Amino acid sequence: MEEVRASSAWVATRSAHVFVDSSGIEKAVEEIQGSIPKVKWDFEGIHYFDNGPLTVQYLFVLDALNFCFWPDKDLNYDNLALGLKEALQDDKSVFDADRLQKITGPQLRNLLKWPRPLPLENERVRLLHEVGLELERSFEGKACKLVESCGKSAANLVALVTRHFPGFQDHSVYKGHQVFLYKRAQIFAADLWGAFEGQCYGEFNDIGSITIFADYIVPAVLRQLGILRYSSDLASIIEANREIGSGSEEEIELRACSVYAVEKMRELLNKKSGNQVPDHDLIELLVAKFSTGIECGIGSLALVLWHSVSISSTP
């Protein structure tokens, strides 16, 4: 994901609200060196897995919908993952491409057993229609065909997903420069790798090309560690729990500087340890170790985060 790394670095060197502190990186690396765990995918037991194409279909639908839970205080990623899992267990054709193209908001709520309208429900329905239509048009209706087209390359898979499915095109314009982040497309590749343990549909020869998934949890963790510093204006906004607009300079800087900072941490860890540390392993450790009671505002939200959260369960 060189476009993600390069554009994030471009933002980090011009940022007016968020700053990467190299001394904070040094200190954090010293503390975590040698303690990066291997976290088993689905240790919570909330995901569907049958070791076959249906799991790929499930993960693609799940990752298409993996955003914006915060307006409903009772809703989170676990509700989505488990709700879709149970729906698929009840009806193996529920995520067929032709059915995705026709799904309605009330039907999606019913699948998730959710008693009220979902946040951005119309957008979620639109994305499912888009997924169903393009899978049918280009990949015989099957997400596994999409994965088979990538040539065992996670970078190619992300490129395919963002090319064919506009809803996964997570990019912004910052000071006239295009910035690529590709959160959910990268999560799809990482979920496949984790679910299939690097085999079959999860076999990628370049899984290390995936960056962190730039969301609102990561900058909060990095700030607590002293790796990110905020301007006084941005700090005041966050401390007051005021919303930060999606696509604003502040939001883009928070996300892009997080990617850049973790890349710098990974480079330093690799240099010190002599091993190649994937970004997703590193951020798992940071979130698990340091994310109790962090306040952070990003992407039109401001909330208090509690307890440790895995990378694939971030809003």
Catalytic residue numbers, as ranges: 215
b/e map 132-151, b = 16+ CB within 10 Å: bbbbbeebebbbbebbeebe
Distance CA 161, CA 186 (A): 9
207 membership: H or E segment, kind and range? none
Other residues' Cβ atoms within 10 Å of the Cβ of residue 88: 21
Query: Which residues, at least 6 apart from 126, have a Cβ–Cβ distance to it below 8 Å?
Result: 167
Contact 104, 131 (CB under 8 A): no
Contacts for 36-40: CB closer than 8 Å, 24+ residues apart? 36/269, 36/277, 36/281, 36/282, 36/284, 36/285, 37/281, 37/284, 37/285, 37/288, 38/281, 39/281, 39/284, 39/288, 39/310
Query: Which residues, at least 6 apart from 224, have a Cβ–Cβ distance to it below 8 Å?
Result: 290, 291, 294
Other residues' Cβ atoms within 10 Å of the Cβ of residue 217: 24
The pair of three-digit structure tokens given for residue 121, joined into one six-digit string: 């429900």
Question: Residues 140, 145, 146, CA angle at the centre, nearest 5°?
Answer: 105
* Amino acid (one-letter) located at 99: R
* Amino acid (one-letter) located at 242: R
